[in-house]
Structure 1
Amino acid sequence: MYYKLLLALVLLILVLIFVLQNTTIVDINFLVWKFTLSRGLLVLIVLLVGMLIGWLGRAQMAHRNRKRHRL
């Protein structure tokens, strides 16, 4: 159990170092929106969105499995 926490902390530190080293401002165009953001912050946001999608997908699968076992 502790190795997962340690691994998560190491990855968090590496991501934070990456964000702090990549402060170059980039232009983002998405559909009709245009905004500027630092490259590191953009990568952090994409990482967090990916983690959220993965967490929601896993929760949905767990819900389906619980529902199947009740029947």
Structure 2
Amino acid sequence: MSVKELQTQVLDLSVSDRMALVQVVVQSLRDPHQCSDRRTLVHKMKGLLRTAQPAPTDAQVADMLNQRQMERTLT
């Protein structure tokens, strides 16, 4: 997963999930030895992205993108 893909997925998270992700990142910066293994950190972050909901369909994604674009143009 590239950084750009991760950033895109992070923006789709709920506020509480993003806060949990921030906590994991900050903790890794405070104690670099605790999360020195990159695979462990990536695994933890991917776990935050998992949901019990099925992935949205292409039509749903298109609708979400259209809504977001309309929100941007109205503000």
Pick the TM interval, shorter chain: 0.3 to 0.5
Superposition TM-score, scaled by structure 1 size: 0.36
Bigger fraction of residues in strand: 1
Larger Cα Rg: Structure 1 or Structure 2? 1
Q: Which has the higher contact order (CA 8 A, sep 6+)?
A: 2
- TM-score (norm: length of structure 2): 0.34
